[in-house]
Amino acid sequence: MDRRAAGGVRKGNKVRRLLTVSTAAALLLALGLRLDPSPTPVQAFGLTVETPARSRAGESLTVAVRAPGGGDAEFGATFRTAYRAYEVSGRLSNGAASFLAPAQATRAAGVLDVVVRIGPFAATSSTVVAARAVSTIPVPFVGARSIVAGESDRSMAVVIPSDRFGNPVTSPAPGLQVRYPRGEVQTFELTNASSLLWAWIPSSTTAGRALVTVASSAGAGPERDLLIVPSDPTHVSFTADTPVRRADGVSFLELTTSAIADNFGNTVLDGTAVTVTTISGTGHRSVQRVMTFGGVARALVEMPDSAGPFTVEVTAGEAHFSQVLGLEGIVAEAPPVSVDWAGPLGVSLVVGPVVSEQGMPVPDGTVVTVESGDGAMARGWTLDGTAQIEISAELHSGLLVSVGGFVIEVRS
């Protein structure tokens, strides 16, 4: 064996020795761990847990655990409330342990179950946790937000009194106090239904804002609004702004309704739709939608261009009012009509001067219409009392010029 080979053998032996020592050290370490003195095994059969039968939310709760055989052991405990569970762990010393339940576990009212486990063994105990007194006077939930005046409609209030931990407290039941728009106060008894207290709130005949609150021996709580709104309008009328009503086709008549009210005299809310309809003497109609402000609606109605009866109707819900006004004409006499030019493509007419009874030119924009025998129609306006109108028709078929209720026939 040469030196290099001998060295190789020596190296191999070293490695083997190193491996042997390492293995031995590892075994000793493992053994050392196992040889750590362990407590006496607990006799967990017959494990018991004790808690008070009753408690109050948030109160300290002592839990006692016993194992008849004595000894020490780790145990786990679960606290189950109606909402969630909490886990804690502890250690028996000489077969017994006593500790306080977690604070959170004692806050929920209801049954609190405590389960203690050691290995395969378990023991349970239950405590009835009662809610504490109502902490603050609750805010009522009111819906519908608005009801119709007239006693037949109603809203509902729901109240959930609770202690400082949020547990519902239904006893003693508080009262529901409603201050109606006219000032009278009514108290309603709340009905208990599955930890909720509720009551109907009837409407009143007076529209307005009712205030709903929960009242108890400690006083009244925060208020909530309940709107009592007018029912369908039943009364309406109107007045016109001027006694002189001219059928000029351009000026406006301003109509103001009376206060629009329901059967109980409540004026409708702002923004309620009102329809104003007019019918002129020639049968032309106009329709206008306006809205109320302060219970009153205003409408501007353009005057027709023909004299005679002028019917105005106002409708708001069920309420309806109609009145016939008389309109005076503004054109004093039939104006002269001349032909500016005429050809196969059409005719141009000059109508005027159109004068009023005072001998003045009628207002600019007074409507002049021309109709031909074959159905063609053209429309124009006066400017300084005169209108120039072109119509695509031939003169020999005859033309009818209308202005201010006068009709003038034009022929070639």
Partner 1 sequence: MISLRSAIRRLARDHRTLLSALVSAMAFHGTLLAAGTFRRTYDAYVHIFFADHYARGWFATWEPRWYTGFSVTSYPPGTHQLVALGSRVLGLEAAFVLVQLAGILTLVVGVYRFTLLFGSRRAAGYAAFLAVLSTSIAEAVHVFGQLPTVCALGLLLNSLPFVRRWTLDGGRRSLAAALSMLAGTTAMHHVTTLFGAVFFIGPVVVWSLLDRLRQPHPKEGPGRAARVTRATIVPLVARRIRRVYRSVGRVAVLGMASVVVLLLVVWPYWVWSTTDPIAQVPIPHGSRESFLEDLNAGLVFWLIPWASVLPALPYAVVRGLRSHTWPVLVSILALAFLGTGGTTPLPRMLLGEAFEILTLDRFTFWATILILPFAGAMAADLVDGPLAKRLVDAVGRSTLHVLQAAGVLALVGGAAFTVNLTQFRKMQPAPIAPAPIVSFLEKDQHWRWRYLTLGFGDQMAWLSTQTSAQSVDGNYHSARRLPELTSTPVERLEGAKFRGVPGLGSLQQFLGMPERYHLKYVFSNDQFYDPLLQFSGWRMLQTLENGVVVWEREDVPPLPGATVEPEPPTVYRVMWGILPLAAILAAALGAVSSFGPKSGGLEVERWARLDGALGRLADRMPAETGPTRSWKDPIRLLSRRFALPGSAIKMTLVTTVVGSVTGLVVMTLPAAHSPAAVVVAYYDDVDFKRFEQAWTRLDEESRPSLDEYLLQLSVEDGLVDSYASLDSIGIVDERIAGTRAQVTVDLVYVTALAEFRVEERVDLIRGDGTWGVVLPPVDPTEPVERLARRAEIEFVPQGRRSVTTANTEYDDVLDRPELEVSHLRLVLRDGRPALLGMVENIDVDPASLTVTGALLDERAELMATYNATHVVEHSLLPGESTPFLIEFEGVAGRDTGDFQAAAFTPIDLAGEVAAAHLYAASVVTGRGLSRPVTVQRLTVTMSGSAPVLDGELLNLGPKDVTVTALLVSLYDASGTLVWVDWVIVPEAAKPGRSVSFHSALTESGRLVTHDVDFGLNVNGLSAPVRQAAVPAGAVPAPAGSGYRWIAVQPVVFERATR
The binding site for partner 1 (CB under 8 A) comprises: 143-146, 227, 229-230, 233, 250-252, 268-275, 277-278, 283-291, 293, 298, 300-302, 304, 313, 315-317, 320, 343-346, 364-365, 379-381, 383, 388, 390, 392
Paired tokens of 24? 């031995």
Query: How far does CA 214 lie from the centroid of its chain?
Result: 23
Which residue's CB is nearer to partner 1, number 115 or number 400? 400
> Which amino acid would we find at residue 267?
T
Which residue's CB is nearer to partner 1, number 59 or number 390? 390
Query: How far does CA 182 lie from the centroid of its chain?
Result: 26
Element at 179 (helix H, strand E): strand 175-179
For residues 1 and 100, give the distance between their C-alpha atoms in angstroms, rounded to a whole number.
79
Contact 372, 398 (CB under 8 A): yes
CB of 84 to partner 1, least distance (A): 23
CB of 148 to partner 1, least distance (A): 8
For residues 90 and 73, give the distance between their C-alpha atoms in angstroms, rounded to a whole number.
8
Which residue's CB is nearer to partner 1, number 49 or number 299? 299
- Which residue, among 90, 93, 97, 94, has the nearest Cα to 74 in the 3D structure? 90
Which residue's CB is nearer to partner 1, number 104 or number 286? 286
CB of 165 to partner 1, least distance (A): 23
CB of 155 to partner 1, least distance (A): 10
Q: What angle do CA 293, 295, 297 make, to 5 degrees?
A: 60
SS3 106: helix
For residues 223 and 250, give the distance between their C-alpha atoms in angstroms, rounded to a whole number.
54
Which residue's CB is nearer to partner 1, number 115 or number 158? 158
For residues 78 and 84, give the distance between their C-alpha atoms in angstroms, rounded to a whole number.
10
Which residue's CB is nearer to partner 1, number 199 or number 268? 268
By residue count, the chain amounts to 412
Which residue's CB is nearer to partner 1, number 85 or number 300? 300
CB of 253 to partner 1, least distance (A): 11
CB of 197 to partner 1, least distance (A): 22
Which residue's CB is nearer to partner 1, number 163 or number 394? 394
Question: Any alpha helices (H) in 131-261, and if so which ranges?
Answer: none
- Which residue, among 409, 245, 408, 222, has the nearest Cα to 325 in the 3D structure? 245
CB of 252 to partner 1, least distance (A): 6
For residues 125 and 50, give the distance between their C-alpha atoms in angstroms, rounded to a whole number.
6
CB of 408 to partner 1, least distance (A): 20
